[in-house]
Each structure stands twice: as structure tokens, then as C-alpha cells.
């Protein structure tokens, strides 16, 4: 009998466990069935004395004499070795099958990537039964939650996510998407998911989705009806009580204002962001349109850019609260002057200010002294309040670091690179550099960022912030920009000691 299989299998089965024509009166027979299923399709059954070793079997059809022990690969311990080192790894792709399990209400799906391994034969019917060995699973539900998990060992020796950097479990999706075998089957799972009733409400966007992550995004936000929303940041700010197109989303960013000049400026900014950084950060523009009623001022402010070397990693968290404060304290013209000053002179101070301001409660905001609408003066007063009311509770806090974070503590001539050990030391760094470093204590404690100090002859010369496996800012005393030489030193240090791209990760 011939059966189609790409992997040549062999297995040994106790004859007493299978239906056969030899046993009677429940008599236990001293025989085993040695079953061979060749890759050419030929099946061979040999009945032998139990425990007896036979000569090496060779397929009479194709001459193959290499067969893989099914019982061994059914067991879990066989898969402790990375799957790439399994002898038949190159044959896996054509032997793996995707199975789908549904919840009773069909609000979630579980994709299983299975390898079928023979483990039983009915001698009477000659039917072979197979065991499904799951090597990977992917869960997706109606609310956009998804989870993927390798069920056996994979040699995933690269990681670009910062979770491992902070000593946490690594993000699976980043590494899985780089594995050729898993990436191949994830594409098939994506196509099955697109056709499933779970995605019926996504008819306008699902065929443009190129990943499970894309589909999960639109499952979470089914009111977004154009694929272009995939580039939008802060989508939680958008209204979810009705379907939205890109045009309607931009109208919301505009606070539904009708002034033609303002509309043109907002639409133009959208096109520029999508074409340059491939993202759309609208929180600043949304705040301008909401709080600046003078159309001429608002139109000019929309065109302001806050760009520095690390702009792609910046967050606008806290911007609406900042504008609410500014609109109560300054005239609209003064707010424009302040934002223009940040844009022209020190965009990095703008994001520093936002980082600190986003941590303020109402009581802290009330303590802010009104200063001239100049970026340095405004940043200084925010830093002062932040130091007074935030750093005090961190003085007794000790920071804990992962092994990966500590890898950055090296001698990189002419500097010695160090990590602050507690809130007090971080405050001392802040005083030495005359900047707002002390405000990062809570973020460091919660493993949301890492700050390294570069010392020369025992004196702190500059600090570097690393977040999401990227440098997000680097500066010297009074937030002065670094020299080209120091910038090159920092980049070389990061690539050699901190970047996760070349780190061998532990087994998952």
C-alpha cells in the first residue's frame, strides 16, 4: 500500500494494541509490528518477535534506507533541540499542516501548525493513524487580541525588541516574523483569517492587510474603514461611535473647523508625514485646532516642525494637557511664540517638557510659575517643579537592571559608561548636567527607559537615553548638542554593546 508523505517514518507498534486476525481469547501475543512509510509512498509492515532487532530496512521501491523514528519525535524531549537541527528540517515545509480550532461563539480562532507523525495502524484495514505534533500556535479574537507561541524549540538568535533588554520575556512576533519557516505559514494563516467570518466587518480593509498585526489592528478598531489608518498614531483619540474614513478622521483632527486655510495646512501636513516618516502623529495638530481659535495663528502653528536626530522615537503624550494649561495662562499669540521658539531652537527640549508635564497632576500644574514664552525659560520652570515634586519620592528608590542593560557599562575611550544606581544618583547627574534627568527616575524604575552616563576622569560629560532598542536622545551640559566626535562615539558604543540585533537570545 502506498501513502503520500515527504518524511520517511518508521515506528514500532505492539500487535496487541491493534485490531488483527491473529489473537484470540484475549491472548497476548509476543509480536510487534515494525511499520515503515517511505517518502516515495510505499508502506511496509513487518511482524516480528517483540524487542527483536532487525537488519536495516531498505525501501524496495526507491532504495531509501533512512527512516525517522516516529516514537522519538512524538515525545516532547525530542524537540528540545532547535528545530533547525532536526535531520528532516528541510522537509518540514511540505509536511506541516494548518488546523483551525473555533470557540463555540466563533469570536476567536486558534491556528495550530501541526506535523503529522504515524503512531498506530489497524492491521485489518491497514489504516494508519497519525499524531498531531503542534510546533506553533496563533490565537486571534474578535477584539484584536492576538498571541503566538512556538511550541517547540527554535534557534531564534536575533531580537530587536526591548523586552529582553529589560530582562522580560521577549516579544514573539518580532522574532517569529524573521524565521523563514514560520513566516511562510503565518502568511497562509493570514489568508485563512481574512476569509473567516471573524473578519466580515473588515471588508474595506482586510485585503490590504499584509500581516496578522494589521488584521488585529482593524479588529480592535473596526470603525476605521481605510487601510491608511494603519499609520496613524494615538488612534484611541479618534471617535469610535461611527465609521471613519481618512477624510473624516482628518476632519476630527481639525475639530471640525471649516476655515479653508487651516484645512489645507492640516491635509498638507498629513501628506508630508506619511511620505517622510510613514506615520501620522496628529496629537499636536489636534491640540492646536482645539485650543487655538485664531485661524491665522492656528494655520501657522500647524506648519511648525519639532525635529531632531531622534524624532521618530518621540512621544506626544501630555500635549493636550499642556495646551489646556497654556490656553489658560498665555494669549494665543504667546503660545505661538513659545511653540515657534521650541521648533526653531530646541525641539528636543519640547519633548523633554512634554515628558515631564505628562507626569503632573492638577496640584503640580497650579504651582507652575508663569514665565516669558521662551522655550528655555519655560523648560526651566517645568524642570524646577518636576525636580521639587517628583524626584523627592525617588531618592530612596534603587534601580534594578538586566544583564543586557549592564552590557552598556564599559570603557569606550575616552569615556567610562555607567548606569545610575538610585534616584539620588540620578538627581546628582541632573545637577551636574543642569538638565531634567531627575525626571526620568520613574521611567527607569518601571523599565520604560534606560539612561547611561558618560564619564571622563570621574566627571559626567553627557547622558544618553535608550528606549525600544534605539537611542532617543543624547546631550551634554545644559542640553547642549554633542560634537560630531562624541556623536560617533555614542553610535559606535550603542552598536557594539547595547543594540539587541546581534545578541544570542535564550531558548523560548
CA dist 296 to 288, 417, 436, 498, Å?
Answer: 12, 48, 34, 46
Q: Average pLDDT for consecutive 10-residue bins of the chain (508 residues)?
A: 68 78 68 89 88 88 92 88 88 93 85 93 80 94 92 67 46 75 94 94 96 96 97 93 96 97 97 92 95 98 79 75 96 97 86 88 88 94 80 76 92 95 88 81 88 95 89 83 89 88 40
Task: Give pLDDT, residue 231.
Answer: 96
The position carrying cell 484645512 is 263
DSSP element (H, E) containing 68: strand 68-69
The verdict on pTM exceeding 0.75 is no
**Roughly what angle, to the nearest 10 degrees, separates helices 295-302 and 260-276?**
10
Nearest CA-CA partner of 485 in 470, 474, 499: 474
Task: Give pLDDT, residue 349.
Answer: 87
What's the alpha-carbon Rg for the chain, to the nearest Å? Answer: 31
Task: Give pLDDT, residue 216.
Answer: 96
Dist. CA 176–CA 151, nearest whole Å: 12
Dist. CA 47–CA 100, nearest whole Å: 37
Task: Give pLDDT, residue 309.
Answer: 53
Task: Give pLDDT, residue 99.
Answer: 95
- The torsion angle over the Cα atoms of residues 343, 355, 166 and 467, rounded to 10 degrees, is 0
The number of CA neighbours under 13 Å toward the Cβ of 249 is 27
CB atoms within 10 A of CB 173: 18
Task: Give pLDDT, residue 161.
Answer: 44
Instruction: Please say whether the beta carbons of 65 and 56 come within 8 A.
Output: yes
Task: Give pLDDT, residue 21.
Answer: 57
Amino acid at each position: 500500500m502506498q501513502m503520500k508523505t515527504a518524511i520517511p517514518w518508521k515506528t514500532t507498534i505492539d500487535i496487541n494494541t491493534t485490531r488483527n486476525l491473529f489473537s484470540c481469547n484475549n491472548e497476548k501475543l509476543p509480536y510487534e509490528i515494525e511499520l515503515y512509510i517511505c517518502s516515495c509512498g510505499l508502506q511496509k509492515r513487518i511482524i516480528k518477535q517483540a524487542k527483536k532487532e532487525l537488519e536495516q530496512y531498505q525501501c524496495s521501491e526507491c532504495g531509501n534506507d533512512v527512516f525517522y523514528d516516529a516514537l522519538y519525535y512524538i515525545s516532547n524531549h525530542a524537540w528540545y533541540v532547535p528545530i533547525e537541527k532536526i535531520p528532516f528540517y528541510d522537509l518540514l515545509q511540505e509536511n506541516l499542516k494548518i488546523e483551525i480550532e473555533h470557540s463555540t461563539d466563533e469570536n476567536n480562532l486558534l491556528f495550530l501548525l501541526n506535523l503529522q507523525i504515524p503512531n498506530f495502524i489497524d492491521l485489518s484495514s491497514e489504516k494508519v493513524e497519525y499524531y498531531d505534533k503542534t510546533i506553533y500556535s496563533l490565537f486571534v479574537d474578535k477584539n484584536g487580541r492576538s498571541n503566538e507561541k512556538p511550541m517547540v524549540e527554535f534557534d531564534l538568535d536575533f531580537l530587536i525588541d526591548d523586552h529582553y533588554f529589560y530582562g522580560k520575556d521577549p516579544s514573539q512576533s518580532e522574532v517569529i516574523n524573521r524565521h523563514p519557516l514560520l513566516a511562510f505559514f503565518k502568511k497562509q494563516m493570514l489568508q485563512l483569517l481574512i476569509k473567516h467570518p471573524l473578519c466580515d466587518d473588515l471588508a474595506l480593509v482586510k485585503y490590504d492587510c499584509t500581516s496578522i498585526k494589521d488584521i488585529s489592528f482593524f479588529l480592535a478598531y473596526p470603525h476605521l474603514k481605510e487601510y491608511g489608518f494603519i499609520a496613524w498614531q494615538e488612534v484611541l483619540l479618534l471617535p469610535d461611535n461611527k465609521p471613519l474614513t481618512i477624510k473624516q478622521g482628518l476632519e476630527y483632527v481639525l475639530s471640525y473647523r471649516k476655515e479653508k486655510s487651516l484645512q489645507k495646512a492640516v491635509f498638507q501636513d498629513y501628506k508630508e508625514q506619511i511620505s517622510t516618516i510613514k506615520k501620522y502623529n496628529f496629537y499636536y495638530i489636534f491640540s492646536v485646532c482645539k485650543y487655538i481659535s485664531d485661524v491665522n495663528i492656528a494655520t501657522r502653528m500647524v506648519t511648525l516642525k519639532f525635529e531632531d536626530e531622534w524624532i521618530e522615537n518621540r512621544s506626544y503624550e501630555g500635549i493636550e494637557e499642556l495646551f489646556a494649561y497654556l490656553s489658560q495662562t498665555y494669549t494665543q499669540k504667546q503660545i505661538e511664540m513659545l511653540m515657534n521658539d521650541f521648533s526653531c531652537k530646541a525641539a528636543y527640549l519640547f519633548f523633554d517638557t512634554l515628558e515631564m508635564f505628562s507626569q503632573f497632576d492638577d496640584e503640580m500644574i497650579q504651582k507652575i510659575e508663569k514665565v516669558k514664552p521662551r522655550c528655555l525659560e519655560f523648560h526651566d520652570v517645568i524642570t524646577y517643579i518636576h525636580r521639587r515634586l517628583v524626584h523627592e519620592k525617588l531618592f530612596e528608590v534603587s534601580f534594578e537592571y538586566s544583564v543586557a542593560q549592564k552590557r552598556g557599562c564599559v570603557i569606550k575611550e575616552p569615556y567610562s559608561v555607567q548606569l545610575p544606581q538610585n534616584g539620588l544618583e540620578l538627581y546628582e547627574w541632573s545637577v551636574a548636567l543642569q538638565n531634567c534627568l531627575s525626571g526620568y527616575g520613574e521611567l527607569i524604575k518601571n523599565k520604560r527607559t534606560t539612561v547611561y552616563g558618560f564619564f571622563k576622569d570621574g566627571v559626567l560629560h553627557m547622558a544618553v537615553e535608550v528606549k525600544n532598542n534605539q537611542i532617543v536622545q543624547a546631550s551634554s551640559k545644559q542640553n547642549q548638542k554633542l560634537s560630531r566626535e562624541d556623536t560617533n562615539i555614542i553610535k559606535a558604543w550603542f552598536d557594539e554593546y547595547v543594540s539587541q540585533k546581534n545578541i544570542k537570545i535564550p531558548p523560548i
